[in-house]
């Protein structure tokens, strides 16, 4: 891959390089890619470093401080690029601020401290989060996360803030009850009944700070999803057609063209499950947003394939594709064909009265690059008339 001029390249693995150096460098280069002003990017970079506290100074020659579930190689940071037609792409960064702590109660304390400091700095209320403390931060909290935050890195130095919480903090058996109660406390008493069935609720997320329409979001996981299933899971009126959702599913998952009229419908994602996300922002009218997340990294041979799929999707939805190439160059110097995982998820999002959005979740790979899936005959799965055909990585 070509490198960006005038910028330091990542030095993961070089002796002395710290986690902070690695993710900070990525953030500065990505900020330039999306056209943020240097002063804004510098501020966001400092916020990122501060929120990682001592972990930022931990050399990458040491293993990750905790087995963060945020990314496959346990880097507690992930970037994403949210693209809309006729608008500049938006850079976001997802962080586990309590990553120094393997214990979830300690991690929660660290995470809450970081959010409260942000609330002081940018003068926003944490009332919604405070109202949920007993649900999401029990004293004997279980993993795989306590609190993550994401910043939408906006021009002007005031980010949009999102907080991600674990509905299984009091045990997986409590997740449904926790989601229902959280929605009720936040004013969406009917919300739980409006969610589709799924195998679990990996996250609840809150928009904090300055948003036109702050949302409460519930993520649902769907093992063995097919394209037809994906269409049936949206609870948000209109916006995306079934054809949009199916096209996205197949383009992201890499399904082959149909051999017959129904052949598409039997392909299912048998590896890492797809997720849907249901956003609530208007009381009494059902979910206002729907997102389909496909974990593309588990359904490709390597990142060259993942990036080709992402760019085909961006082009299909009328969005700029070059920004993705530049973002990948900003993340790593490695060849795309040398790993599978730089693009963790591809997502199609629709919010009421907004243009559809395509988001690529981009891994930091501070600690490891997952090798490509190799082997003889790298081929796509053939559709067959059998029900429930596997959609496996193309190997």
Using an 8 Å Cβ cutoff, are 18 and 125 in contact? Answer: no
Binding mask 275-314 for ligand TRP (x = CB under 6 A): x-----------------x-x-------------------
Q: Is the peptide bond before 388 cis (omega within 30 degrees of 0)?
A: no
- In whole angstroms, how close is the CB of 78 to ligand TRP at the nearest point? 5
Report if residue 345 touches ligand TRP, rule: CB under 6 A: yes
**Token couple for 182:** 């959280």
Options 3-11, 70-78, 229-237, 301-309: segment touching ligand TRP (CB under 6 A): 70-78
216: which strand partners?
Answer: 206, 280
Using an 8 Å Cβ cutoff, are 3 and 333 in contact? Answer: yes
272 or 334, CB closer to ligand TRP? 272
DSSP letter string, 190-256:
TGGGGSPP-SB---EEEEESS-SS--EEEEEEETTB-HHHHHHT--S-SSS-HHHHHHHHHHHHTPP
Report if residue 135 touches ligand TRP, rule: CB under 6 A: no
Q: What is the phi-psi region of residue 228: left when phi exceeds 0, alpha when psi lies from -120 to 50, beta otherwise?
A: alpha
Q: Total binding residues for ligand TRP by CB under 6 A?
A: 11
- In whole angstroms, how close is the CB of 387 to ligand TRP at the nearest point? 27
* Among residues 23, 28, 60, 70, the one that binds ligand TRP under rule CB under 6 A: 70
Residues 361-390 that bind ligand TRP (CB under 6 A): 361
Residues whose CB falls within 8 Å of the CB of residue 77, separated by 6 or more in sequence, listed in order: 23, 48, 52, 70, 71, 93, 94, 95, 96, 364, 366
Q: Are strands 357-363 and 343-351 parallel, antiparallel or unpaired?
A: antiparallel
- In whole angstroms, how close is the CB of 145 to ligand TRP at the nearest point? 8
Report if residue 204 touches ligand TRP, rule: CB under 6 A: no
Options 66-74, 165-173, 241-249, 313-321: segment touching ligand TRP (CB under 6 A): 66-74
Residues 87-126 that bind ligand TRP (CB under 6 A): 94
Instruction: Provide the binding-site residues for ligand TRP, judged by CB under 6 A.
Output: 69-71, 78, 94, 275, 293, 295, 344-345, 361
């Amino acid at each position: 891959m070509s490198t960006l001029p005038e910028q330091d390249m990542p030095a993961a693995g070089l002796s002395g390089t710290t986690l902070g150096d690695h993710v900070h460098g990525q953030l500065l280069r990505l900020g330039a890619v999306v056209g943020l002003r240097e002063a804004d990017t510098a501020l966001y970079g400092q916020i990122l470093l501060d929120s990682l506290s001592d972990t930022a100074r931990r050399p990458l020659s040491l293993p990750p401080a905790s087995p963060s579930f945020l990314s496959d190689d346990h880097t507690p940071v992930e970037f994403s690029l949210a693209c809309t037609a006729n608008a500049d792409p938006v850079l976001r960064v997802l962080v586990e601020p309590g990553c120094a702590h393997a214990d979830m109660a300690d991690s929660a304390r660290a995470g809450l401290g970081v959010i409260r400091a942000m609330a002081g700095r940018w003068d926003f209320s944490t009332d919604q989060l405070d109202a949920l403390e007993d649900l999401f931060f029990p004293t004997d909290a279980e993993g795989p996360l306590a609190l993550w935050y994401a910043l939408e890195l906006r021009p002007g130095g005031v980010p949009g803030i999102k907080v991600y919480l674990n509905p299984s903090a009091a045990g997986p058996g409590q997740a449904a009850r926790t989601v229902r109660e959280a929605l009720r406390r936040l004013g969406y008493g009917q919300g739980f009944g409006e969610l589709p069935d799924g195998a679990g609720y990996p996250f609840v997320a809150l928009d904090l700070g300055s948003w036109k329409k702050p949302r409460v979001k519930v993520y649902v996981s769907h093992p063995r999803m097919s394209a037809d299933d994906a269409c049936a899971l949206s609870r948000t009126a209109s916006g995306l057609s079934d054809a949009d959702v199916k096209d996205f599913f197949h383009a992201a998952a890499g399904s082959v063209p149909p051999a017959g009229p129904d052949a598409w419908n039997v392909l299912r994602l048998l590896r890492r499950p797809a997720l849907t996300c249901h956003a609530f922002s208007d009381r009494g009218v059902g979910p206002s947003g729907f997102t389909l997340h496909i974990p593309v990294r588990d359904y490709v041979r390597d990142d060259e394939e993942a990036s080709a799929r992402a760019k085909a999707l961006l082009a299909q939805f009328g969005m700029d594709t070059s920004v993705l190439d530049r973002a990948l160059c900003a993340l790593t110097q490695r060849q795309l064909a040398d790993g599978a995982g730089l693009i963790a998820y591809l997502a199609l999002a629709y919010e009421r009265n907004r243009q559809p959005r395509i988001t690529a979740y981009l891994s930091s790979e501070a600690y490891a690059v997952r090798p490509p899936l190799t082997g003889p005959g790298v081929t796509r799965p053939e559709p067959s008339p059998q029900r429930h055909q596997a959609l496996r990585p193309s190997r």
